[in-house]
Amino acid sequence: MEELSHGSDFAPTDRVALEHAVNKVKEAFQQSGSHLQIEVDPDLNRVVVKVLSGESGEVIRQIPPKEVIDLAKNLSGSKGALFGEHA
């Protein structure tokens, strides 16, 4: 699980409150037998939240869904083809 980066735009008190809230949510998921994974997609620089099964590690739910992330990556990759200059 990735922690929040230290170079964020949050004030120190906001950051502490945010980290406290994230830890509370993670604890609640662990008590239910699930795990919460928060990461940043390296290609899109967007936060991706996954709920994982505690036993198998299988992704139960992902926000945004994998299909949306794949679509965004395909659209950003084809941006040059859509808006590129043609002779």
> How far apart are alpha carbons 26 and 79 in whole angstroms?
37
Query: Does the model's pTM come out above 0.75?
Result: no
pLDDT tens digits, 9-54: 556 678 788 888 888 888 888 788 888 888 889 989 888 999 999 8
Contact 34, 54 (CB under 8 A): yes
pLDDT tens digits, 49-85: 999 998 899 999 999 999 999 999 998 776 555 555 4
Instruction: Give whole-number Cα distances, 8 to 2, 11, 12, 29, 87, in Å.
Output: 14, 8, 10, 25, 43
Q: What are the φ and ψ backbone dihedral angles of 42, each rounded to 5 degrees? A: -65, -30
Q: 31 by DSSP, 3-state: which?
A: helix
